[in-house]
Structures are given as structure tokens and as C-alpha cells.
Amino acid sequence: MSVTIAAGAATKREQFLKDGFCKFENVVTPEMLDELRRVTDDLLDKAPPSDLAYVRYQGSNVEVNYQDPVFAKLFAWPQTMAAIASIGYPNPKLLSGHLLSKPPQGPALYWHQDWAGWSDPSSAWLEPPQIFVMYYLTSTRRENGCLRVIPGSHLKRNPLHDILPEAHTEASYTASMDSPGFSIRPDEVDIPVTAGDILVGDARVLHAAHANQTDARRSCLTIWYFPDFERLSEPIQSLFARKTPTKPPQWWEGDAGKPVERLVPWYKGTAKPLQWNRIPGEHLK
């Protein structure tokens, strides 16, 4: 892939490719943050307690899409699109968005990586096949559950890869807190984030989160993109792309949904979808 990078973004791109993540400051306006807090607090207040208990290590896992017009704005947020473009990805495609919120005194999140295409050779690329953008709605630190990451684990095998259960499955949802998934690692780093910043990460990088030891909710919106969807193999495109239109609510029509239209990953081919596989194998050396 041919990439042109502005001089000021070169360091961030280098960090992103080497470590598997980078941070951009002051991307979201205070007004947008307030709107996101209002909408997400309402979603969390309405979430069934049984659902929240099942994903207690994540805190919540609410898919966000058509619940409110604010999510259409978020998916195509211009400052985020500019940040992603600045590190070499000017044409991202949207996969999904999730609200991950640790309640007061919520437990830690287990170590995991989120890429589900490990059977495909793209898993060994230097460039990421899939990325996440994290929007923390409150500033984070170790005490309230900031992210922790193992730099470089998106490209190089780590001892954790051979002992972790498959991410976001029954095995991880019911894992014991004394299992390796919750261990302190010698190569981990904390990533505190100020509300309004974004964290961009490679889907393959190992990450976790500290427990929320405070009496306040700690919410995060994680939005998933493909940085260069057309470069991916047809089996991956077939697995992840939208193949038929879905009918959005009335408010999405017209100006509200228009910024998102160019982000939709379409696939019109006939390739058999790649088998879902979250277990790093031969492509991670």
C-alpha cells in the first residue's frame, strides 16, 4: 500500500505500526462528549441487569448503531477521520460500535485481542487489517480502569497467546480472577486517556483494563473500522461486509446518515466467508 504521511504524523504512524496503538489529543469537543454521556448513560440505565452480569469483566457490551443520531455523528466524526487519515488510512470502512462501561467498583477486564481473521495471511501484515478507536467519556487512570496494552504483541508472539482462552466467549466470561487472563505482565504499559482524546489500536494487539476502584461509572465507546477494506482478501470481505441494505430508522435518512454512507463496507462477490477465528496461529511468529 502506498502511504503519504504528513510530517507531523510520521511519529504517530511509526508508534502505531511498532507498538500497535497511538493516541490523539483533543479530538472530541466538550459539547459532543456531553451528548454522548447523556445518550450512553440512558442506554446503560436501560440495560438488563442479567446482560451486565454476564459481561461483568467488560462492564457492558451494548452495540451502538441506530439508537440515537449522535452515533451517526460519532462514526464519521471529522476529527477522527482526519486522525486516521494522518497515519495512512484515508478511506476507512465501519464495522461496528460498542459501549463498554465499567460500573463503580467494577472488576478488571481480561487480556485478549480482537482480530477474528487469524486464518488469513493478512494477519501477518505490518499494516493492520482492522483497527479500533476508543472514546473515553471520562478521563481514565489506573484507579478507574484505564487500558493496559502489551506493545508489539500485534506482530510478535507473546507467552499469553498460548494460555489465554478465546476472547469474549464463555471461557473468558467465566474465567477466574486468578487465571493468566488477569495477570500483571512484565511487558505491559498503562494507557491513561483524557476525555476528548482518542486511542487508535490494532485489533491484533493484546490489551486489558484495570478494575474500576472508584464510585463513578467509567464509560468507553469502541468503534471498529477496516483501514483498507479493499485490500483484504475476498473471504475476509465476505465475512465482515454488508451484503444487503438494512432499513434504518426515519431519522437516519437524509443528512443525519449521509456521512456514514461512505463508510459502509460492501461486498458483492461470491467468495465463501472466512471462518471466524480469534486464536492466533501460524501467522503470528
Q: What is the pLDDT of residues 139-154, one digit of tens each?
A: 999 999 999 999 999 9
Residue 177 lies in a domain: yes
User: What is the reported pTM?
Assistant: 0.94
CATH code, 20: 2.60.120.620
Residue 2 lies in a domain: no
Residue 274 lies in a domain: no
Residue 248 lies in a domain: no
∠ CA 76-132-174, nearest 5°, is: 130
Residue 93 lies in a domain: yes
Number of Cβ atoms within 10 Å of the Cβ of 10: 13
Residue 55 lies in a domain: yes
**Mean pLDDT, residues 31-38:** 98
Query: pLDDT tens digit string along 108-138?
Result: 999 999 999 999 999 999 999 999 999 999 9
User: Hey, what amino acid is at 139?
Assistant: S
Task: Check pLDDT > 90 for residue 217.
Answer: yes
The boundaries of the domain holding residue 27 are 9-242+253-261
Query: What is the number of structural domains in the chain?
Result: 1
Cα–Cα distance, 172 to 146 (Å, whole number): 20
Query: pLDDT tens digit string along 54-77?
Result: 999 999 999 999 899 999 999 999
Edge-to-edge order in the sheet of strand 109-112: 109-112, 207-209, 147-149, 189-191
Residue 172 lies in a domain: yes
Residue 284 lies in a domain: no
